[in-house]
Amino acid sequence: AQKVTQAQTEISVVEKEDVTLDCVYETRDTTYYLFWYKQPPSGELVFLIRRNSFDEQNEISGRYSWNFQKSTSSFNFTITASQVVDSAVYFCALSLLDSNYQLIWGAGTKLIIKP
Amino acid sequence: DAGVTQSPTHLIKTRGQHVTLRCSPISGHKSVSWYQQVLGQGPQFIFQYYEKEERGRGNFPDRFSARQFPNYSSELNVNALLLGDSALYLCASSSGQSTNEKLFFGSGTQLSVL
């Protein structure tokens, strides 16, 4: 069965701290894609990154970085020097080639950045 | 350019009623997907339409239906509303139909069923 687990329901840190959001996925497929989306209080989900299963290179985009490890089926997301504007719910999602066109979503991690 | 637009933003209905939600994709996008998001949970896939044809359907009852128009806008219809249908309904558009597409989401329609 395909599944995405985000074990951290809520994380609260003080501004400028680094924070890592965990994502663990389950699939027997060898070809798949992993995503991270951000959902601010406005409700609109915003795409952050897409990674395919054949590309295990870590990626950095400004203060954001992603660590993809197939050996542990994890795709973790780190925010360095967090800012209040980073406060949102973050979702990890999995898509398969033969998944009826649907994304499989984790339950999300609510990130609170305190000033 | 306008993003994905959804209407209405909020809706209150009573059990047994019918509701129609609307979505306009980003210009040039031919794929529209619908998701239901219950408070505190991740989105659940309902439908995907591409070029006016249904390409995928999630595990939702037949009370849920959708269609896509020639201009690629879409409607989601829910009949015989239940209290459990209360949720945020999200529409997403993409240029293609593959599962690896980057999705662009609207702000959603918050449906409350009383």
Report the pLDDT value the prediction gives residue A98, as an integer from 0 to 100.
67
Instruction: Indicate the burial class of B90 (C-beta count within 10 angstroms; 0-12, 13-18, 19 or more).
Output: buried
Could you tell me the pLDDT band of residue A56, with boundaries at 50, 70 and 90? Answer: confident
A95 touching B (Cβ < 8 Å): yes
The 3-state DSSP class for residue A30 equals coil
Q: Distance (Å, rounded) from C-alpha B23 to C-alpha A46? A: 17
Q: Write out the E strands in A29-97.
A: 32-39, 46-52, 59-61, 64-69, 74-79, 88-96
- For residue B90, is pLDDT > 90? yes
* Cβ atoms of residues A37 and A27 within 8 Å: no
Segment 10-49 of chain B within 8 Å of chain A by CB: 33, 40-45, 48
Rounded CA separation B42/A24 (Å): 15
Written as six digits, the tokens of A8 are 């951290």
Residue contact B100–A101, C-beta within 8 A? no
Q: Tell me which of A2-6, B46-50, B98-102 is least confident.
A: B98-102
Interchain CB contact of A86 with B (< 8 Å): no
